[in-house]
């Protein structure tokens, strides 16, 4: 770093920027979130606070060059990770103020570009990130904020570009919890125009709904009345969580969800209902929600059904799902048989069947019959991964043979029918399994 000011006049402008970029990247990799390609180890390990002081010295000394400079903005962000005292924090804030009124367009274009991707490619985005990192760091260390930090954060939180506000929101939950007055002030400034921002704001709602629902309730009402598309997925998810914790009345809210008639809202709610831990702790409410979603019809039902694979992936132990819901789920899939998702449904269901057969063979058999009836009619991609269906048949036959006298062979007859269906569907493992059984 010392070579830059010492040889300033002999270094081209582009190379000055390259040097600053390299130093900033080093700090960001060692102390921030920048990931290196492959294994990387520094040859020398300079003292980070000393290095950040040298960076600030350089930015102040040659301010004409570094003013509104992209490399300088990245350097401020890198320094924010290691500054731990009020004096140097104040220096960083003063340098950041020069970017407050900067108006710029992102260098990235395209419909798929989200706000955060846009933001990290803007100088003002780097500086906003620097200020949020700095505020959280000082808050964590109980270090006094420099006088201008809160004011400058408010300026960036009210930035006209939504990408800048999205970044403020991304790092805001910690500050909201540790410094509620400033944190919520920044939140409301960032959300004055909430268009396209509720997804970015969702973590702020998530970490606050349980203990500060009085702050979240009017925000949920605002999303319900103003939001659209993905905004309402956030509404569905946070509202469903609030209902589980009895912050809102589930039955009343479910009627609001139905009246809203928006697929994204159902999808957000289903994220909550199909989470295995939520089902274990709030089984009745989660199953009621899933049932309502599967009965909602059309794209709403399809969105809920597509979330069901979350339930069947957790097999330690497997979550018991009522047969009527399994039947309803596959009915929804069958009604959507022309969907592009036809071949990518309920990953892990065969493993769930296998695990369930060890605890409740009758339940596993009934679910298998429903599953194979769907496969026979809808013709999705079907493969016996790791011979799970073969293992399932072994357990079902063993159970059926044990019950043969008591049920007069009723279960055995059903298991044989399942075997025949698997053979007709071309499950090769069943042929091999039958041949092995004949040799015994």
Q: Which pLDDT does position 251 carry in this prediction?
A: 98
Q: Which two tokens stand for residue 428?
A: 């090769």
Model pLDDT for residues 123-164, shown as the tens digit of each residue? 999 999 999 999 999 999 999 999 999 999 999 999 999 999
Degrees, nearest 5: CA angle 139-132-69: 140
Phi, psi of 315 (to 5 degrees): -120, 30
**Residue 6 backbone phi and psi in degrees, to 5:** -65, -30
pLDDT range class, residue 265, cuts 50, 70, 90: very high
Span 405-414, mean pLDDT? 94
pLDDT exceeding 70 applies to what percent of the chain?
88
- Residue 13 pLDDT grade (very low, low, confident, very high; cuts 50, 70, 90): confident
Q: What is the pLDDT of residues 378-388, one digit of tens each?
A: 888 787 778 88
More confident residue, 334 or 80: 80
Which residues, including other chains, have CB under 8 Å from residue 368's CB and lie 6 or more apart? 353, 392, 396, 418
Give the pLDDT score at 166.
Answer: 94
Output the pLDDT for position 188: 98
CA 166/CA 190 separation, integer angstroms? 8
Does residue 86 register a pLDDT over 60?
A: yes
pLDDT value, residue 438: 58
Measure the CA–CA gap between 23 and 3, rounded to whole angstroms: 12
> Tens digit of pLDDT for each residue in 426-438?
877 676 666 666 5
Q: What is the mean pLDDT of the chain?
A: 89
**How is residue 34 annotated by DSSP?**
P
User: What is the band of 326 on the pLDDT scale with cuts at 50, 70, 90?
Assistant: very high
CB 388 within 8 A of CB 363: no
| pLDDT at residue 119 greater than cutoff 60 | no
At 109, the pLDDT band (50, 70, 90 cuts) reads very low
For residue 117, pLDDT over 70 is answered with no
CB atoms within 10 A of CB 407: 13
Q: What is the pLDDT of residue 118?
A: 58
Q: What is the pTM of this model?
A: 0.88
Is pLDDT above 60 for 108? no
């Amino acid at each position: 770093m010392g070579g830059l000011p010492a040889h300033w006049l002999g270094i081209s402008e582009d190379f000055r920027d390259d040097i600053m970029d390299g130093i900033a990247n080093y700090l960001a990799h060692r102390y921030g979130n920048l990931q290196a390609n492959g294994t990387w180890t520094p040859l020398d390990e300079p003292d980070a606070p000393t290095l950040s002081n040298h960076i600030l010295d350089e930015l102040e000394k040659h301010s004409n060059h570094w003013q509104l400079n992209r490399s300088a903005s990245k350097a401020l962000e890198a320094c924010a990770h290691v500054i731990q005292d009020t004096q140097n924090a104040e220096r960083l804030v003063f340098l950041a103020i020069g970017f407050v009124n900067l108006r710029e367009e992102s260098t990235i274009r395209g419909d798929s570009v989200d706000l955060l991707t846009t933001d990290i490619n803007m100088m003002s985005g780097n500086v906003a990130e620097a200020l949020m990192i700095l505020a959280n760091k000082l808050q964590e260390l109980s270090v006094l904020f420099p006088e201008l930090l809160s004011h400058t954060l408010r300026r960036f939180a009210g930035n006209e570009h939504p990408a800048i506000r999205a970044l403020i929101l991304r790092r805001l939950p910690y500050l909201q919890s540790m410094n509620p007055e400033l944190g919520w002030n920044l939140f409301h400034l960032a959300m004055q125009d909430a268009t396209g921002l509720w997804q970015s704001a969702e973590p702020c709602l998530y970490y606050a709904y349980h203990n500060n629902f009085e702050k979240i309730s009017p925000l949920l009402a605002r999303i319900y009345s103003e939001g659209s598309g993905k905004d309402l997925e956030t509404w569905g998810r946070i509202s469903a969580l609030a209902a589980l914790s009895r912050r809102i009345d589930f039955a009343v809210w479910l009627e609001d969800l139905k009246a809203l008639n928006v697929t994204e809202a159902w999808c957000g709610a289903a994220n909550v209902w199909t989470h295995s831990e939520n089902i274990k702790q709030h089984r009745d409410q989660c199953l009621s929600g899933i049932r309502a979603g599967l009965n909602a019809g059309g794209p709403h039902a399809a969105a809920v059904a597509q979330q069901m694979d979350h339930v069947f992936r957790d097999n330690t132990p497997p979550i018991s799902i009522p047969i009527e819901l399994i039947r309803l789920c596959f009915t929804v899939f069958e009604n959507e048989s022309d969907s592009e998702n036809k071949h990518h449904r309920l990953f892990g269901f065969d493993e769930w069947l296998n695990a369930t057969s060890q605890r409740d063979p009758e339940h596993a058999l009934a679910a298998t019959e429903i599953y194979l009836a769907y496969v026979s009619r809808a013709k999705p991609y079907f493969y016996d991964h790791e011979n799970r269906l073969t293992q399932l048949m072994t357990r079902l036959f063993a159970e059926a043979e044990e019950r043969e006298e008591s049920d007069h062979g009723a279960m055995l007859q059903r298991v044989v029918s399942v075997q025949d269906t698997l053979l007709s569907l071309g499950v090769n493992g069943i042929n091999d399994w039958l041949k092995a059984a004949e040799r015994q």
